[in-house]
Amino acid sequence: MRFDTKLLHAADPEDPLTGAVNPPIYLSSTYRQSAPNRNRGYVYSRTANPTRTVLEATLAALESGAAGLAFSSGLGALTTLLEAFPRGSRIVSVDDLYGGTWRLFEHHRRQFGVNVEYVAMSDLGAVAEALRRPADLVYVESPTNPLLRIVDLVGVVRLARAAGAVVAVDNTFATPALQRPIESGADIVLHSTTKYLGGHSDILGGALVLRTKRQATKYAWLQNAVGAVPSPFDCFLALRGIRTLGVRMRAHEASAKAVASALARHPKVRRVHYPGLASHPQHRLARRQMAGYGGIVSVEIRGGRPAALRFLKRLKVFTLAESLGGVESLVDHPASMTHASMPRSEREAHGMTDELVRLSCGIEDPADLEDDVRSALRGA
């Protein structure tokens, strides 16, 4: 079954009561039992819910995993993932990553004695050096947020295996439409389903997809114990969004390519970060590893923070807002928005300057998005 078909039919259970084409939204919090511990597979909706079951099976099929688990947010999924790593565990993480992830790692470092080391994972030599010492988890984003760096997943998995570490990959930016890390050897895939999988800026959600049934059993226990689970209605909306993921990702990419090309030619732009450009340092790796380049473009505006803020103010089609991956185009200033929890010194050490702007290119006409960024640059 090809990917676009799988989006609609990967987990396509027939509703036994009506034959409904869409899975019903089961809003019940609890379920009738014929006797203590004798039930139809559902006891309490924190543990399992029929609508969530369909979403989780769909996520597993799309990511080529043994099982999927749905959560109330991407950070809820990450919190549950980290529960498996006790005091003294060592995490080797990509250094350019979402600010909320960095904040949670630092919280676990301070409160629970977890050791975290940040590494420029686009350099396999740096990863190899970090893994000379034992590690429990290697945590990857690819493309990274917000600088769109690409990590060689096969190479990192090989090094992590030799070190005895589990590999988890945040696949939010690429989605399984463009990249399936488990097929490259990763153990765990993480998503913020709020973003491209939901695709309409109307839900919060997260997910873990596990390579093996054994991992799935462990994390299903943690999912129930921690309790950061999504509502049945949000599961239904995530499933609705997933059905159009293929066509949306192609439209997002068409928009991003047009915007990135327009920005790259503009004299007021210092640098464009987009793996679809031949100038991107890991363009060849992205071309080999991914089925496309995605819908996110980051750009450094000449003139520092004041010029970047003028650019943001003059955009008309792009909406200034946090988040990404919705059908509408959004723009974010990482230093003061999504990555504001990171100290300036930490941000700048990894290339996140005050002149950096992140664009989530929607599915509007690409020509209108090009016109919008050009017009805003004139005022910047």
Spell out the domain ranges in the chain. 3-242, 245-379
3-class secondary-structure state, position 278: coil
Tokens read off for 194: 């709020």
3-class secondary-structure state, position 350: coil
**Residue 12, pLDDT above cutoff 80:** no
Q: Is the peptide bond before 50 cis (omega within 30 degrees of 0)?
A: no
Could you tell me if 48 and 41 are in contact, meaning their C-beta atoms sit under 8 angstroms apart?
yes
Q: Which of 28, 186, 190 is nearest to 100 (CA)?
A: 190
Give the tens place of pLDDT for each residue, 101-159: 999 999 999 999 999 999 999 999 999 999 999 999 999 999 999 999 999 999 999 99
Give the tens place of pLDDT for each residue, 279-322: 999 999 999 999 999 999 999 999 999 999 999 999 999 999 99
Domain at 245-379, CATH class = alpha beta
What angle, rounded to 10 degrees, do the helices at 366-379 and 304-314 form? 130
Task: State which fold the 3-242 domain adopts.
Answer: Aspartate Aminotransferase; domain 2 (3.40.640)
What is the layout of strands, in order, in the sheet containing 188-191?
Answer: 67-71, 206-210, 188-191, 166-170, 137-141, 90-94, 115-119
Dihedrals φ, ψ of 269, to 5°? -105, 130
Catalytic machinery residues = 46, 98, 170, 195
Could you tell me if 324 and 338 are in contact, meaning their C-beta atoms sit under 8 angstroms apart?
no
Contacts with 341 (C-beta within 8 Å, 6 or more apart), sequence order: 99, 100, 102, 103
The pTM of this model reads 0.96
Dihedrals φ, ψ of 223, to 5°? -55, -45
